[in-house]
């Protein structure tokens, strides 16, 4: 999108969050003013070998940094705030969020040494924020973390509403109901475009109340004769509160395990979002010194992550605690798409060591409900907002498609619904909307301390190494006449076991020698050509013999 045709037009697009779960980042631009909503991360897909996290490509924002008025945060989940420590290094703009959201963000920024140089502004459902030619107001929503809000951006072209992640919970754990009255008021004034959460668009009915989970947890605690271990998302403060309440009700003590869980519990208590009775919490070192029926443990690991606290407990490799026969383990979360195998493996191991495992598919107890609205919740939001145009967001393509069908069912015209990909710009002008030019988007891969230094080529190499291994060929040549002085020496890693493949490697050695002699006879002395010749000849030979294609790395030295 060029600068000229964006002037005096309203433009909306995503840098992340469409056709995927996570990495949420949405951009609203009017003229020379840009507002960003959320800055999340995504956990790597299976083929992203060695990658820690994935964040959106913010090249567009960096190129227009003088126009970016701020980043508005809808709530404190990783897929909405996790990218901030990386993004703020490139784009130092004000960040707006509610009290708990900002508490979680400040912890991240402190670890990244960015706290003092980042302007942070607290907002609530009564705040009005001037952002150039736009004004932001907020409305309370229900989600699996407190202090979640939706955003209404007042623009010269009309109101743009971003729901954030939401459901309608009529009996919320913290007593904070969604502000349906304010949503209806916004709808009455007129909404030019609604961006709404699509995660559960395929699920019929309303999403259940979080309060039901509290009752289910209490029932499991009541029946348990030994220790109770509850694994859940660290950021699900409502669930953490229910575990605290059940622990207190049945006169147990609670140990909190897992770095992220400990951090969130401390922040929640400090800011007043967690009510924990005095003396309820114990140090993990005390677990084994207390009677089993007097102990409860809350940990990370509900997604079966290999290095999480629960997985290490199940395999007996945790420093403080291991699962014993008769312990009750509650997985108070459902697997994120893609994590099903990891969760199944962990559940299997828990059963193997003798635990009683309560999880979503084997239990009559409702130990988890989603934080995202199902079809009836989504229809209710559409009816409250009554938007002229609609962009389903936050979901894979089938979810966006299902949400668009729900929008049609409540009366939104099909031509006014935009099912977009990341980077697709929807332009609004004079009451009309159309697709504009596409903005460059993509994934930035974080590996250790490296941000974006691992790309497709490196991932391709890692995949090749993981599949067929590597052969290193070392040859030393004479500087005077180019003849082989030593070698070729062939080192194999992940390709074949050397002691059982001596004949194959001897033949490979001979192939390299013949290739080098042929190049010498043809007076080929450029190292790049020599390496390519070795690689090609050896690759053909090995494929013929093994039907495998290891990575071949020739190293030529001259003395």
Q: What is the mean pLDDT of each run of 10 residues along the chain (559 residues)?
A: 54 94 94 95 66 83 95 95 92 95 94 92 96 96 94 97 96 90 96 96 93 89 93 89 94 92 92 92 91 92 81 87 91 78 88 89 69 96 97 95 97 96 94 92 68 53 66 79 73 70 80 80 74 85 80 79
DSSP lists the bridge partners of residue 393 as 197
The annotation status of 372 as a binding-site residue, yes or no, is yes
Q: Can you say whether the dihedral through the CA atoms of 338, 339, 345, 347 is positive or negative?
A: negative
Based on the residue annotation, tell me whether 403 is a catalytic residue of this protein.
no
The annotation status of 369 as a binding-site residue, yes or no, is yes
In 3D, which of 184, 101, 106 has the Cα closest to residue 149?
A: 101
Which residue, chain included where needed, has tokens 């940094």? 65
pLDDT at residue 51 in the model: 63
> How many Cβ atoms are within 10 Å of 205's Cβ, its own excluded?
10
The annotation status of 461 as a binding-site residue, yes or no, is no
pLDDT at residue 6 in the model: 44
Are residues 520 and 481 in contact, defined by beta-carbon separation less than 8 angstroms? no
Edge-to-edge strands, sheet with 120-122: 120-122, 95-97, 68-72, 33-37, 25-30, 10-16, 426-429, 432-435
The annotation status of 424 as a binding-site residue, yes or no, is no
Residues 6+ apart with CB under 8 A from 60: 15, 27, 439, 440, 441
Among residues 372, 377, 403, 468, the one annotated as catalytic is 372
The annotation status of 77 as a binding-site residue, yes or no, is yes
pLDDT digit string, tens, across residues 476-523? 877 766 677 777 888 877 776 666 677 787 888 888 888 887 877 777
pLDDT at residue 47 in the model: 59
Q: What are the E-state strand segments in 223-278?
A: 228-231, 253-257
Residue span(s) of the chain under CATH 3.10.20.580 come to: 469-558
- Helix, strand or coil for residue 230? strand
pLDDT at residue 91 in the model: 93
The annotation status of 80 as a binding-site residue, yes or no, is yes
The annotation status of 50 as a binding-site residue, yes or no, is yes
- CATH class of the domain at 210-359: alpha beta
The annotation status of 256 as a binding-site residue, yes or no, is no
Superfamily of domain 10-205+370-451 in CATH is Ribonuclease Z/Hydroxyacylglutathione hydrolase-like (3.60.15.10)
pLDDT at residue 447 in the model: 60
Return the structure tokens found at 108.
């991240």
pLDDT at residue 233 in the model: 87
pLDDT at residue 459 in the model: 53
Are residues 377 and 369 in contact, defined by beta-carbon separation less than 8 angstroms? no
Based on the residue annotation, tell me whether 372 is a catalytic residue of this protein.
yes
Cα–Cα distance, 129 to 478 (Å, whole number):
73
Please report, in angstroms and rounded to a whole number, the separation of the first and last CA atoms in the chain.
56
Are residues 143 and 165 in contact, defined by beta-carbon separation less than 8 angstroms? yes
The annotation status of 416 as a binding-site residue, yes or no, is no
Q: Can you say whether the dihedral through the CA atoms of 125, 130, 135, 136 is positive or negative?
A: negative
pLDDT at residue 30 in the model: 96
In 3D, which of 312, 304, 307 has the Cα closest to residue 344?
A: 304
Residue span(s) of the chain under CATH 3.60.15.10 come to: 10-205+370-451
The annotation status of 113 as a binding-site residue, yes or no, is no
The annotation status of 315 as a binding-site residue, yes or no, is no
Whether the link from the prior residue into 388 is cis, omega within 30° of 0, is no
Residue 489: Cβ-neighbour burial (10 angstroms; 0-12, 13-18, 19+): middle
The annotation status of 75 as a binding-site residue, yes or no, is yes
Which residue, chain included where needed, has tokens 């690689």? 535
- CA 475 vs. chain centroid, Å, equals 45
> How many Cβ atoms are within 10 Å of 276's Cβ, its own excluded?
18
pLDDT at residue 549 in the model: 79
CATH topology of domain 469-558: Ubiquitin-like (UB roll) (3.10.20)
Cα–Cα distance, 113 to 398 (Å, whole number):
40
Are residues 393 and 198 in contact, defined by beta-carbon separation less than 8 angstroms? yes
Residue span(s) of the chain under CATH 3.40.50.10710 come to: 210-359
pLDDT at residue 88 in the model: 94
528 HSE (CA, 13 A, CB side): 0
Residue 251: Cβ-neighbour burial (10 angstroms; 0-12, 13-18, 19+): exposed
Among residues 57, 147, 169, 197, the one annotated as catalytic is 197
pLDDT at residue 226 in the model: 93
Helix (H) or strand (E) holding 486: strand 484-493
Which three-class secondary structure string do you get for 31-87? CCEEEEECCCCECCCCCCCCCCEEEECCHHHHHCHHHEEEEECCCCCHHHHCCHHHH
Q: CA 508, 511, 513, 517: dihedral to nearest 10 degrees?
A: -170
The annotation status of 339 as a binding-site residue, yes or no, is no
517-549 as b/e, with b when 16 or more CB fall inside 10 Å?
Answer: eebbeeeeeeeeebbebbbebbeebbeeeeeee
Edge-to-edge strands, sheet with 484-493: 484-493, 470-477, 551-558
> How many Cβ atoms are within 10 Å of 310's Cβ, its own excluded?
28
Q: CA 498, 502, 504, 507: dihedral to nearest 10 degrees?
A: 130
The annotation status of 355 as a binding-site residue, yes or no, is no
């Amino acid at each position: 999108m060029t600068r000229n045709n964006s002037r005096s037009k309203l433009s909306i697009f995503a840098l992340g969050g469409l056709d995927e779960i996570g990495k949420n980042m949405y951009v609203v631009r009017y003229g020379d003013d840009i507002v960003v909503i959320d800055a999340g991360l995504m956990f790597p897909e299976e083929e992203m070998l060695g990658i820690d996290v994935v964040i959106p490509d913010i090249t567009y924002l960096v190129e227009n940094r003088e126009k970016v008025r701020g980043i508005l945060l809808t709530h404190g989940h990783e897929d909405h705030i996790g990218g901030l420590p990386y993004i703020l290094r490139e784009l130092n703009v004000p960040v707006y969020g509610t009290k708990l959201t900002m508490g979680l963000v400040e912890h991240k920024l402190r670890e990244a040494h960015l706290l003092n140089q980042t302007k942070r502004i607290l907002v609530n459902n009564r705040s009005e924020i001037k952002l150039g030619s736009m004004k932001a107001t907020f409305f309370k929503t229900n989600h699996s973390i407190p202090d979640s809000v939706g955003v209404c951006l007042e623009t010269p072209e009309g109101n743009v509403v971003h729901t954030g992640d939401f459901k309608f919970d009529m009996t919320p754990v913290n007593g904070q109901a969604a502000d349906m009255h304010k949503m209806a008021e916004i709808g009455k004034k007129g909404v030019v475009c609604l961006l709404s959460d699509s995660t559960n668009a395929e699920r019929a009915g309303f999403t259940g109340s979080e309060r039901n989970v509290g009752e289910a947890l209490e029932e499991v605690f009541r029946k348990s004769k030994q220790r109770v271990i509850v694994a859940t998302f660290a950021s699900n403060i409502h669930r953490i509160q229910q575990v605290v309440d059940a622990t207190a009700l049945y006169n147990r003590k609670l140990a909190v395990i897992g770095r992220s869980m400990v951090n969130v519990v401390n922040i929640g208590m400090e800011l007043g979002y967690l009510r924990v009775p005095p003396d309820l919490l114990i140090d993990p070192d005390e677990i084994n010194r207390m009677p089993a029926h007097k102990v409860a443990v809350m940990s990370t690991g509900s997604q079966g992550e290999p290095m999480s606290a629960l997985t290490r407990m199940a395999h007996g490799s945790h420093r403080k605690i291991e699962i014993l026969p008769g312990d009750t383990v509650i997985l108070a979360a459902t697997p994120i798409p893609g994590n099903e195998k990891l969760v199944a493996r962990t559940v299997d191991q828990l059963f193997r060591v003798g635990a009683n495992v309560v999880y979503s598919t084997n239990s009559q107890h409702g130990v988890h409900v989603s934080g995202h609205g199902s079809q009836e919740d989504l229809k209710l939001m559409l009816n409250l907002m009554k938007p002229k145009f609609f962009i389903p967001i936050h979901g894979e393509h089938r979810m966006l498609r299902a949400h668009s069908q729900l929008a049609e069912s409540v009366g939104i015209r099909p031509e006014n619904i935009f099912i977009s990909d990341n980077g697709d710009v929807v332009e609004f002008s004079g009451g009309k909307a159309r697709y504009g030019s596409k903005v460059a988007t993509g994934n930035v891969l974080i590996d250790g301390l490296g941000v974006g230094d691992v790309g497709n080529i490196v991932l391709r190499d890692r995949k090749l190494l993981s599949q067929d291994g590597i052969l290193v060929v070392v040859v030393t040549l004479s500087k005077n006449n180019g003849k082989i002085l030593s070698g070729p020496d062939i080192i194999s890693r992940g390709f074949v076991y050397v002691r059982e493949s001596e004949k194959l490697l001897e033949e490979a050695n001979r192939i390299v020698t013949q290739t080098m002699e042929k190049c010498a006879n043809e007076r080929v002395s450029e190292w790049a050509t020599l390496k390519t010749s070795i690689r090609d000849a050896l690759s053909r030979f090995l494929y013929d013999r093994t039907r495998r294609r290891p990575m071949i790395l020739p190293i030529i030295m001259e003395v």
